[in-house]
Amino acid sequence: MLAELAARFSASEQEMERGLRLVQSLDPPGVGARDLAECLLLQLERLPERDELAETIEVASSAQVKSIIQELIAAEDRQAPLSDQQLADLLHGRYGIAISRRTVAKYRGAAAYSFFGETKAIHRSLMRPVKERKNAMHIRLYTKTNCPLCDKAKAVLTELQADYRFTMEEIDIYEDDALLEKYQLMIPVVELDGEEIGYGMIEKETVRKRLQRAQNS
């Protein structure tokens, strides 16, 4: 939809995205939503205090979209797979879900992640010079404002800094159009030395295991 509007008004998709975000910041909460799921998320973000139910709904919405994408990928013709844009169009036409091509690509990659991907990551780690591997690890935490899940993820990482040597960088996805497209349905996202290790509900034990593995490499 944004691509069509951008072409009609001789503007970039990024400009249209910023315009849409401006409209969505107006009252009543939910105005400018492209589908029911987005409308619900916009309304939740405007609540004075979001409770556990709000957090659960946000994570469930993201998980539902990811599940639908994985089902479509599993059912596609392996000889002629759908492109990311075709999947995005299919989601919008069949389910009324407005989602960017980049987000589809992200979920497609997650669906294809396997033992071989894990093995390659370990191999790359082992091939790094010893001096480089001994340097402090670096974590990027992709967040947004008014996000209780993001606050909880930051608290988890802060606690882990007492046991592991790593630097932490917090990045607001609304300050970068590319990050907004990539992570808008996944926030918060934790990235360790360039590799995404978790999103949504960030579990302390899961992050601890990844830090321990990286520290021992």
Q: How many residues does the chain have?
A: 217
What does DSSP say about strands 137-143 and 195-199: parallel, antiparallel, or unpaired?
unpaired
Going by C-beta distance under 8 Å and a sequence separation of 6 or more, which residues neighbour residue 141? 150, 153, 154, 157, 168, 169, 170, 171, 188, 189, 190, 191
pLDDT tens per residue, range 29-74: 888 888 777 777 777 776 655 455 455 555 556 666 777 777 777 7
Contacts of 165 (CB under 8 A, 6+ apart): 136, 137, 215
Note if the pTM is more than 0.85.
no
Q: Where in the chain is the domain with CATH 3.40.30.10?
A: 135-216
Burial class, 173, CB count within 10 angstroms (exposed 0-12 / middle 13-18 / buried 19+): buried
Residue 55 burial (10 A CB sphere; 0-12, 13-18, 19+): middle
Does 117 or 114 have the greater pLDDT score? 117
Statement: 135-216 belongs to CATH 3.40.50.10480: no
